[in-house]
Amino acid sequence: MRVDEKHQIMTAENNNQIEGLKKGVPSVWQEVLTLNGPGLLGYATRMVGDKATAEDVVQDALVNVFRSIEKFDGRCTIKSWLYRAIRNRAIDEIRRRKRFIDIGDDPENEYFEDHDGHWREDCFEWDGHAARELDSKRLLKVVHDEINNLPHAHREVLLMKEVEGLDVKEICDALEISAGNLRIRIHRARSVLRAAVWQSLNKE
């Protein structure tokens, strides 16, 4: 509820801005793009996997947003609208280049005993190896590499939520999903990421 209120206020504050966008006032466009552009480009880069393609994706998507801005109905923030546009264009690109990976199984399915829901004895290593790496730069690199290797459906929620720091409402609007659905997707994405990171750390 607090989130909704915040958004109502933000939407009211953004009315002038939206008017400016729809009228095509260059300074308003410049302002909106300067504010959101770097985040959108970072998101796109990590969605498609390389800078040059990401630049094309963002260019295309933003020009497209500019040309169809009259379709913006104000039911979400302009930020969500922009992310949605970049995301859809990035997914076209991912499909075209076959970087599209099925989301696979939920790793947590294998961790617990069915009858009492407790951890299975053999579920994973608890030798503390990972804990010794906690503060290292290498951990950071492994985490980011593994985010980049995730199936896109997991990658996109983590990029929006953790890396770009969008709030729940903004992500739900960008992905056109409910808050409950987002919560499940985030948890699943984190579980898959955790398994991948720990596997990668324990390999070495």
Residue found by looking up tokens 């906690």 in the block: 134
Residues 6+ apart with CB under 8 A from 81: 65, 72, 173, 174
106-125: contacts with another protein (CB under 8 A): 108, 111-112, 116-119
Among 151, 190, 199, 200, binds another protein (CB under 8 A): 190
Least distance in angstroms from the C-beta of 196 to another protein: 10
Q: What backbone phi and psi angles, to 5 degrees, belong to 112?
A: -115, 150
Distances (CA, A) of 43 to 48, 141, 153, 181, 202: 9, 17, 13, 21, 28
Residues 6+ apart with CB under 8 A from 135: none
Among 147, 160, 172, 174, binds another protein (CB under 8 A): 147
Quick check: 63 binds another protein (CB under 8 A)?
yes
Quick check: 126 binds another protein (CB under 8 A)?
yes
Quick check: 35 binds another protein (CB under 8 A)?
no
Binding mask 42-61 for another protein (x = CB under 8 A): x-xx-----x--xx--xx--
Quick check: 194 binds another protein (CB under 8 A)?
yes
Q: What backbone phi and psi angles, to 5 degrees, belong to 97?
A: -95, 10
Quick check: 197 binds another protein (CB under 8 A)?
yes
- C-alpha span between 172 and 109 (Å, rounded): 26
The window from 9-17, 76-84, 94-102, 137-145 that contacts another protein (CB under 8 A) reads 137-145
- C-alpha span between 3 and 192 (Å, rounded): 28
Q: Which is nearer to another protein, 10 or 139 (CB)?
A: 139
Copy the structure tokens of residue 31.
């302002």
One-letter-per-residue 3-state SS of 126-161: CCCHHHHCCCCHHHHHHHHHHHHHCCHHHHHHHHHH
75-104: contacts with another protein (CB under 8 A): none
Residues that bind another protein (CB under 8 A): 24, 26, 29-30, 33-34, 37-38, 41-42, 44-45, 51, 54-55, 58-59, 62-63, 66-67, 108, 111-112, 116-119, 126, 130, 134, 137, 139-141, 143-144, 147, 158, 162-163, 165, 168, 183, 186-187, 190-191, 193-194, 197-198
